[in-house]
Amino acid sequence: KNQVEQSPQSLIILEGKNCTLQCNYTVSPFSNLRWYKQDTGRGPVSLTIMTFSENTKSNGRYTATLDADTKQSSLHITASQLSDSASYICVVGSYGGSQGNLIFGKGTKLSVKP
Partner 1 sequence: KAGVTQTPRYLIKTRGQQVTLSCSPISGHRSVSWYQQTPGQGLQFLFEYFSETQRNKGNFPGRFSGRQFSNSRSEMNVSTLELGDSALYLCASSLVWDPKQAKNIQYFGAGTRLSVL
Binding site for partner 1 (CB under 8 A): 31-32, 41-46, 49, 51, 89, 93-96, 98-102, 104-107
Supply the minimum distance, in Å, between the C-beta of residue 91 and partner 1. Answer: 8
Supply the minimum distance, in Å, between the C-beta of residue 76 and partner 1. Answer: 21
Q: Which is nearer to partner 1, 16 or 100 (CB)?
A: 100
Q: Which is nearer to partner 1, 77 or 107 (CB)?
A: 107
Judge contact between 6 and 107, C-beta under 8 A: yes
Distance CA 13, CA 79 (A): 11
What is the phi-psi region of residue 89: left when phi exceeds 0, alpha when psi lies from -120 to 50, beta otherwise?
beta
Supply the minimum distance, in Å, between the C-beta of residue 34 and partner 1. Answer: 9
Query: Please, what is the end-to-end C-alpha distance for the chain in angstroms?
Result: 41
Supply the minimum distance, in Å, between the C-beta of residue 111 and partner 1. Answer: 16
